[in-house]
Every structure is written in C-alpha cells, then in structure tokens.
C-alpha cells in the first residue's frame, strides 16, 4: 500500500515543525559537541557523505565527525568495525549516544530526509535492490525508522529492508509517533548500537 498524498503532506508538516523544534532545543548541545570535536581532533566538525535518497536521488548526509580525517581511505574504508582505532574519543561517545546524527535535522529541514523513514543507504547499494526491495526508495529516508527500533545495527541489510517495506505498507502518523517514542527509549538504553561481528561476511549489501 502506497503512502497517500495527504499522508505525505501531514508527514512533511510534522517534519518541518519537529526539526525546527529539535534544532532550537538541541542548539546549545550541538554547539558544545562542535567545540569538543574541534578542540580534540583536527579536521572539519561536520562529516558529509553522499547517500541514496527518495526515488534514488543522491543527497549529502550531514553528521558530526566521529573519526579521524581521511578515515574513509584507511583500514576498512567506509566500514566501521568494533573498537575501530579511527574513531576519536569524542566520536566514541557520539556514536554510542547517537548524538552524531543530530545534524541530519538540517537534512530534514531541507526536505531531503524525514524524521522517520528507512535509513539512507550508501551509494554502493544502488543497483542491488530487486524489484521488490527497490520500494524502500519510494519514501524519504529517515533519521530513525522501524528497523532502528527493532534491531538497528544488529540487523543485516536484507532484514532492514524487509522492515522498511513493512513500514511503508503499514504507514500512519501514529506509527511515526510510536517510532519516535521508541527511539527515545532506545537512545537511553544504548541497545543495538554495535553491529553484528559477522555482518561483513553474511550481508551481501556490505560487499563493495
């Protein structure tokens, strides 16, 4: 079942109001994080990476930088391992608390992302979806989503995609509100932040 035009409009209004409110609320914290990154590690405060958006369009994802400069060209490349030495001390805290995702509120404000939706996939996923899986690109990617509150990084990408499709087929405003509430609970618990140790071997979407 496709999300209707009226549902998309309501979702966009919630995204605008929600992202503006959260940016005001978290502005002091975001400033503190920016200062902490700048004084503890050389390099830019904001990390920018191209990701796949709605309908396969490419956009620039914003995150607080959690790794040393040039980390993408070192070691495991774009893949982050447990206890990865490229992660800065401040970055470890940001990743564990998911505070590194806060700049994505600007992506939501720009209309590139939604507060809730499938997580934006890396570019090497393009062309790997089958005719059913590609439906996950029919909606805007989200800061959080159904898979984020039901396993998060413990899930392999094919499992995440199935949850994304379930979300699209069962979409409602109340489901978004439920996911946002569950996200807050997950953030306090720190559950499922670390990925499965065997994900590189078992997940076909992680092979580049």
SS3 string of 96-149?
HHCHHHCCHHHHHHHCCCEEECCCCEEHHHCCCCCCCHHHHHHCCCEEECCCCC
For residue 16, the model assigns a pLDDT of: 97
For residue 193, the model assigns a pLDDT of: 54
**Which stretches of the chain score pLDDT less than 50?**
none
For residue 113, the model assigns a pLDDT of: 98
For residue 126, the model assigns a pLDDT of: 86
Q: What residues does each domain of the chain span?
A: 5-198
For residue 67, the model assigns a pLDDT of: 86
For residue 120, the model assigns a pLDDT of: 95
Indicate whether this model's pTM tops 0.85: yes
For residue 101, the model assigns a pLDDT of: 96
For residue 207, the model assigns a pLDDT of: 62
């Amino acid at each position: 079942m496709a999300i209707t035009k009226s549902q998309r409009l309501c979702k966009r209004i919630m995204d605008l109001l929600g992202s503006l409110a959260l940016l005001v609320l978290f502005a002091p914290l975001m400033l503190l994080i920016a200062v902490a990154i700048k004084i503890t590690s050389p390099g830019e405060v904001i990390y920018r990476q191209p990701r796949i958006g709605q309908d396969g369009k490419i956009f620039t994802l914003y995150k607080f930088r959690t790794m040393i400069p040039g980390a993408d060209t070192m070691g495991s490349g774009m893949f982050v391992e447990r206890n990865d030495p490229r992660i800065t001390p401040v970055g470890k805290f940001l990743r564990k608390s998911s505070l590194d995702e806060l700049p994505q509120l600007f992506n939501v404000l720009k209309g590139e992302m939604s507060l809730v939706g499938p997580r934006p996939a890396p570019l090497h996923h393009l062309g790997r979806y089958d005719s059913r899986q590609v439906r996950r690109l029919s909606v805007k990617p989200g800061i959080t989503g159904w898979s984020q509150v039901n396993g998060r990084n413990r899930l392999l990408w094919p499992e995440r995609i199935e949850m994304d499709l379930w979300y699209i087929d069962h979409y409602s405003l109340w489901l978004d509100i439920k996911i946002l509430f569950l996200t807050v609970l997950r953030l306090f618990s720190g559950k499922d932040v670390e990925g499965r140790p065997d994900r590189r071997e078992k997940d076909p979407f992680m092979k580049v």
